[in-house]
Amino acid sequence: MAEVNTGDGGGHGKHDKKRAKKASTKIDMTPMVDLAFLLLTFFVLTSTFSKPKTMEINFPAKPKTQEERIKVNNALTFILTREGAGEKEDGIYYYYGEFYAPNNAAGKPVTTYTRTNFSKDGLHKLLLNKNATTIAEIKKLDEKHEKREIADSTYKRLAIAAQGNIKALTVLIKADDKAVYKNIIDALDELKICNVGKYAIVDMSQPELDILNAIKKK
Amino acid sequence: MAKIKLGKGSPGLDMTPMVDLAFLLVTFFMLTASVRVSEPVVIDSPSSTSERLLPDNVIMVTVDTKGKAYFNISNPEVRVKTLEKMGQQYKVAFTDAEKKRFGGMTSFGVPMASLKKYIAMQDPERAKAGSPGIPLDSLHPELGDWINFGRIEAARQAKAQKEKAESVGRSFKYEPLRFAIKADGQANYISVKDVIKVFTDRDIYRFNLITNLEDGGAAK
C-alpha cells in the first residue's frame, strides 16, 4: 500500500506504520448504494416485461367458384351489432340452424333472432348448453390426462378431434357495420372457453341484415 | 431509573449483501430490459383469456379507433429492404440516412407521398403532425404493397440467413413470418374487416389478433 512519509524522522517511522494499520479499511458505500438503487428503480419502472398476448385465427379462404356453399349442420349463428340510443350498447343476437329469408323458396317460416348478451348467463350459458356433448367429452379427456392415463400429445389430438367432430357445434360470427372489434374478440374468447373448435367469421347477407335492422333496439 | 446503555460498537451497518443484491438486480434489469419505443398511436387492445405469446417475426398492422391503418415489420433489416422496394414502386428515392432512421422506427401510418417527410421528423413533431393512416383502397393499395414486399423480403432474408448458416455448417432455425393485427377494442369492426380483406386478397388467411390478458394483465 502506498504510504506517505511525513518525514518525522526514522525513529518514529515504525510507530506511524502501526497507526496506519489501525485505521479503518472500510469505505463509505452509501453513494454507491444510492446510485445502485436509483438505477434499479429506473430499470424496474421502464422495462416492459409482458409481450402482448395473441389469439390465433384462420379466416376461410375465398371460394373458388361463386356458388360454392358449405352445408353446415348443428350451426349456431351469432350476429353482433351496436344498438340503443347513439349506438352505445353491445347487441348480440343468435339463431340456430339454417337461415330462411322471408318468402324463401323452401316455404319455411322466416328465421327469428333471439337476443342475448355477453354476460355469464347469456352467451356463456347458451354455448355450454349447445356444446354440451363436446364439453363433456373434453372433460373426460381432462380427467384422464390428469391421472396420466394418456400422454400430452394424445390428449391434444383427441381434444381437437372432439371439437372437430361432425356432431360438434359450429359457430358462425357475423357482424354488421356498427359492431366494434371488442365484441368480436369477446365472442371468440367465449368460444374458446366453451371448447368450440369450429367457428368462422363470415359476412352477413342482405336479408339477414334487414331482419336485424328491423328488430334492433333504437 | 436504569439508564439505557448505548453499545460502544460502531452504529454502522454492513451493507455489502444489500449492495450485492442491488447490483445483481440492476444487472438483471439492464440485460432484460427492452427499450420502449414510442408508437404513433395508443391502442387499447381488447382483453381475452388467450395466453399465447406474440411470435417474434411478424408483420403487424395496427388499426386505431378511427379506423386508420398503421404498418410495422418486426425485423429492422427486412423493414429497410421493404422500404427500398416500396420506394422503387412509388418512385420515391430514400437516402441511406433515411433508410437507417426508418430501420429504427416502429409502426407508422403515413402514405408513401409523405413518408420521406415523416422519417425526417422527431418524435414530438410526429405526434403533432398526426398520422393519416396508410391508404388501403383499391386505387391506392399501399398497405397491400407493404405487406407483399414485406413478405417477399422476409422470405429472401430467411433464405440468405439459411445459406449463410449452412455454409459454415450450422443448422438454421427458421421462425415463420406471422401476420398480426392489433386493433383497438373500440375500433369499428368494418375497418378491421377492410384490413383483413387486404390480407385475404393476398392469400393470407392466418392471423394473430393481439389482445391483453384479462384481469390485471393490462399494462395501461
* First vs last C-alpha separation in chain A: 89
Closest CA to A182 of B147, B15, B4, B184: B184
Window 13-32 of B, Cβ < 8 Å to A = 15-16, 18-19, 22-23, 25-26, 29-30, 32
Distance from CA of B206 to the nearest CA of A (A): 4
Inter-chain touch A80–B189, beta carbons under 8 Å:
yes
Q: CA B123, CA B158: separation in Å to the nearest integer?
A: 31
Distance from CA of A54 to the nearest CA of B (A): 4
B141 CB neighbour count, 10 Å cutoff: 16
What pLDDT shows up at residue A45? Answer: 80
Which amino acid appears at position A165 of this protein? N
As a whole-number percent, the residues of chain B with pLDDT over 90 amount to 12
Residues 6+ positions from A168 with CB-CB distance below 8 Å: A74, A131, A133, A134, A162, A196, A197, A198
Q: CA A171, CA A78: separation in Å to the nearest integer?
A: 7
Q: Contact B143/B107 with Cβ under 8 angstroms?
A: no
Closest CA to A94 of A71, A73, A82, A76: A76
Q: CA B104, CA B75: separation in Å to the nearest integer?
A: 10
What pLDDT shows up at residue B136? Answer: 86
| Residue B148 pLDDT > 60 | yes
Inter-chain touch A175–B189, beta carbons under 8 Å:
yes
Look at chain A and count its residues. 218
In the three-class reduction of DSSP (H, G, I as helix; E, B as strand; rest coil), residue B175 is classed as coil
| Residue A97 pLDDT > 50 | yes
Q: Which helix (H) or strand (E) holds B30?
A: helix B16-32
Tell me B207's DSSP state. E
Judged by a CB distance cut-off of 8 A, whether residue B53 touches chain A is: yes
Lowest mean per-residue pLDDT among A14-28, B65-79, B91-105, B115-129: A14-28
Distance from CA of A96 to the nearest CA of B (A): 23
Q: What is the mean pLDDT of residues B85-112?
A: 88
Judged by a CB distance cut-off of 8 A, whether residue B37 touches chain A is: no
The domain limits of chain B are 47-219
Q: CA A18, CA A7: separation in Å to the nearest integer?
A: 16
Give the residue from chain B lying closest to A61, CA to CA.
B205
Q: What is the mean pLDDT of residues A52-77?
A: 72
Grid cell at residue B108: 407508422
Q: CA B164, CA B170: separation in Å to the nearest integer?
A: 9
In the three-class reduction of DSSP (H, G, I as helix; E, B as strand; rest coil), residue B52 is classed as strand
Distance from CA of B166 to the nearest CA of A (A): 31
Instruction: Tell me how far the alpha carbon of residue A155 is from its chain's centroid.
Output: 22
Assembly ipTM: 0.75
Instruction: Tell me how far the alpha carbon of residue B197 is from its chain's centroid.
Output: 22
Closest CA to B67 of B161, B164, B4, B134: B134
- Tens digit of each residue's pLDDT (9 = 90 or more) over B1-32: 666 766 666 676 777 888 888 888 888 888 87
Give the residue from chain B lying closest to A175, CA to CA.
B189
Query: For an interface test with A, which of B16, B25, B26, B52 has the most A Cβ atoms less than 10 Å from its Cβ?
Result: B26
In the three-class reduction of DSSP (H, G, I as helix; E, B as strand; rest coil), residue B220 is classed as coil
The domain limits of chain A are 3-46, 66-131+169-217
Q: Which residues of chain A lie closer than 8 angstroms to B19, CB-CB?
A: 29, 32-33, 36
Number of A:B CB contacts under 8 A? Answer: 149
Q: Which residues of chain B lie closer than 8 angstroms to A60, CB-CB?
A: 205
CA separation (Å) from A21 to A159, A186, B55, B108?
76, 73, 61, 66
Q: Which residues of chain A lie closer than 8 angstroms to B180, CB-CB?
A: 54
Inter-chain touch B22–A40, beta carbons under 8 Å:
yes
Distance from CA of B3 to the nearest CA of A (A): 30
Print the SS3 string covering B92-138: CCCCHHHHHHHHCCCCECCCHHHHHHHHHCCHHHHHHHCCCCCCCCC
Residues 6+ positions from B19 with CB-CB distance below 8 Å: A29, A32, A33, A36
Which amino acid appears at position B69 of this protein? A
| Residue B216 pLDDT > 50 | no
